[in-house]
Amino acid sequence: MAISRRALLRRIGAIAASTAVVPSLEASPNVPIRLNRNENAYGPSARAIAAIQETARASAHRYPQADAEALRNKIADLHRVQTDQVVLGCGAGEILRMAVDASVGPHKKLIVALPTFELIGDYARHAGAQVVAVPLTSMYSHDLDAMLARSGPSAGLVYICNPNNPTGGLTRRQDLEAFFHNLPATTCVLIDEAYHHYVGISSDYASFIDRPVDDHRVIVVRSFSKIHGLAGLRVGYAVAAGSTARRLASCALADDVNVAAARAAIAALDDAEHLRSSVRRNDDDRQEFFNQANARMLRAIDSRTNFVMLNTERRAVEVIEHFRKNGVLLPPPFPGFDAYVRVSMGTPAEMREFWRVWDLAPTHHSL
């Protein structure tokens, strides 16, 4: 989708001119543009919406056991595993909490990258565990050698978000397999594949569900919050060896996946065209983001997800506040990336507004 620099500059000029005569898309203070949570800006499939509506009409008074079991069976069929290898959670976040409860506690360590998705670290600290954060490599992949050096008998769990949030980069499949081989036999590895569908074709990447390894210590997590657009319903799942899955499930809350979430997730899995459409749209939106950044001489970290880390060349906290005042939400800065902002891909209209607000900022290095 790359276009010439001259064409991009003309496009920026046209957008600037249009904002002078067309009412701004700037959100009201009560309805900001949300580019801070890595959501699917286009929402769930029509099939999932219909399932939610039908559930509200006919089944909201029913407990979810049968529907949750149907979803587990659906996921098991999809991944060609046994049903007892599938564990559901109230969002992937609950799976992370289960893994912490099952694997770490006082006198145990959780090993994570820095930065990465921070929720699992919060859970571990609450459980009394030590959280060991290992900076990413210069190529923004997990520093597996350094993580291995920080492990040992007290390391109960290693968390690998791949592609990583917030940087969007990959850690190579072959490197991860070698890492597993060298870890202590008592250390589990949780691989978070929340952004799996956005990766596309890569010689460095293969899902650990779709191309599994024979290792009872490996837990793979997926989410319906991203590509499937069901973040508000909170449903995720893990796939692991049967014994490991049972240990995870023993830490689950009863009836944690509700009827609407279970039925919407089943409908989402049945709608392959919505998944393909969401991938295509994200590919186009992400490429356009890079085009716009390049036209403004801005650097960004290459991403295989639905978000991009943009180097603002100034204090990120000031940039984030500038956007907040103009009705666009961005997440707080991430450790070690004080000049970067993570921007979730929105709709084309939302991204035009992002760049309009960017261009309102002063050109010098302090907002």
Between residues 244 and 362, the one the model is more confident about: 244
If one counts every other C-beta atom within 10 angstroms of the C-beta of residue 280, the result is: 10
pLDDT the model gives residue 362: 80
Say if residue 314's pLDDT is above 70: yes
The rounded distance, in Å, linking the Cα atoms of 72 and 56 is 21
Among 225, 234, 207, which residue's Cα sits nearest to residue 89? 234
- Residue 80: is it exposed, middle or buried by C-beta count within 10 angstroms (0-12/13-18/19+)? exposed
Exposed e or buried b for every residue in 181-212, given b needs 16+ CB within 10 A? eebeeebbbbbbbbbbbbbeeeeebbbbbeeb
As a whole-number percent, the residues of the chain with pLDDT over 90 amount to: 89
The residues facing 110 across adjacent strands are 131, 157
Say if residue 162's pLDDT is above 80: yes
Mean pLDDT within 272-286: 97
- In what helix (H) or strand (E) does residue 239 lie, and over which residues does it extend? strand 236-240
Domain locations in the chain?
Answer: 5-31+273-360, 46-271
Of the ranges 4-8, 78-82, 321-325, 332-336, which one carries the lowest mean pLDDT score?
A: 4-8
Across the chain, what does the average pLDDT equal? Answer: 92
Per-residue pLDDT band at 31 (split at 50, 70, 90): confident
pLDDT the model gives residue 365: 53
Say if residue 93's pLDDT is above 80: yes
- Say which CATH architecture domain 5-31+273-360 belongs to: Alpha-Beta Complex (3.90)
pLDDT the model gives residue 112: 98
Say if residue 5's pLDDT is above 80: no
Say if residue 22's pLDDT is above 50: no
The rounded distance, in Å, linking the Cα atoms of 38 and 303 is 13
Of the ranges 20-24, 48-52, 292-296, which one carries the lowest mean pLDDT score?
A: 20-24
CATH C-level class of 46-271: alpha beta
Mean pLDDT within 35-42: 97
pLDDT the model gives residue 14: 42
User: Do 262 and 237 contact (CB within 8 A), yes or no?
Assistant: no
Identify whether 212 is preceded by a cis peptide bond (ω within 30 of 0). no
Q: What's the chain's length in residues?
A: 367
Mean pLDDT within 315-338: 97
Between residues 137 and 10, the one the model is more confident about: 137
Select, from the ranges 11-15, 19-23, 286-290, the one with the highest average predicted confidence (pLDDT).
286-290
pLDDT the model gives residue 2: 44
pLDDT the model gives residue 1: 41
Say if residue 106's pLDDT is above 90: yes
pLDDT the model gives residue 157: 98
Which residue intervals of 36-184 are DSSP H helices? Answer: 46-58, 65-79, 92-103, 119-126, 144-149, 173-182
